Structure 1
């Protein structure tokens, strides 16, 4: 049994971060092996834009549950690489709308087969055992519970 497994819930966050980092490193290794200049960190914005022609930065931040500032920073990085462009909303000129550039659309076509393979690989992984079959549901339920009461508040309750 590994150190992380022995310590149980005290290392919950560390274990999730380790799994996430390993996952993202593997996905990025696939992009690199296939000479696709894409970073897994860009996936949420690329995926959202693949589903809708354009989105406001506010829509992106809301959907991803990140700050407007964090969404803007990611958008700026993608814009610097020439993958997306921003323009003013036709109805509200103060609102910035994000869409793919031709270069971004070309990159999207390159990454979509990787996403399809990733989908199949993850489905395969989640069928490995009875426990992993329920992992996505358990993650969703944990996210919902944390929205209702944060870890901070739960710890504070036990310190009183």
Structure 2
């Protein structure tokens, strides 16, 4: 029996992390096998830049709900790989906007079929197995519940004498 199933919710975070690490490793393997030098840690940035020609660092930070510092670090990393460039905003010179370079746009073209396949395969899992039906909706509901009131508050309230 799989140890990770025995403790139930006591090990929920570890199971999510283990699943996430497996998922990321598998996707990175796909990119590597296809000869695409893409790393899944870049996904959010590429996805947003696939929808917008350019975006400011502040808007990226807000959309991804991560710190401006984290966004800057990732953009610097992608800039070093010559996948993005940043320039001053034409309307507001205090802002930096990021765009994909020609190399970045080529990579985006190469990875889009992988994204379509990921979506197709995982949607098929959901369709074939009734237990996986609406999985992302249920995950979103859990995220909403935890955003509305942190888990620690639920736990501490539960521990109060009744």
Scaled to the shorter chain, the TM-score interval is over 0.9
Q: What are the superposed Cα offsets for residues 40-59 of structure 1, whole Å, 9 maximum, x if unpaired?
A: 11011001101110011111
Q: C-alpha root-mean-square deviation of aligned residues, in Å?
A: 1.2
Partner of 2:62: 62
Unaligned runs of 5+ in 1: none
| Deviation (angstroms), 1:157 | 2.5
The list of structure 1 runs, each at least 4 consecutive aligned residues, that deviate by more than 4 angstroms after superposition, is none
Q: How many residues align?
A: 160
Residue 143 (structure 2) pairs with residue 143 (structure 1): yes
Q: C-alpha distance in 1, partners of 2:142/2:30?
A: 30
Q: C-alpha distance in 1, partners of 2:12/2:5?
A: 10
| Deviation (angstroms), 1:159 | 4.3
Specify the SS of the correspondent of 1:107. helix
Q: C-alpha distance in 2, partners of 1:79/1:155?
A: 43
Q: What are the superposed Cα offsets for residues 100-129 of structure 1, whole Å, 9 maximum, x if unpaired?
A: 011101111111111111111111122232
Partner of 2:114: 114
Specify the SS of the correspondent of 2:7. helix
Specify the SS of the correspondent of 1:117. helix
Partner of 1:96: 96
| Deviation (angstroms), 1:154 | 2.2
Query: Mean Cα displacement is larger for which, 123-132 or 46-55?
Result: 123-132
Q: C-alpha distance in 2, partners of 1:73/1:21?
A: 22
| Deviation (angstroms), 1:96 | 1.0
Query: Mean Cα displacement is larger for which, 128-137 or 99-108?
Result: 128-137
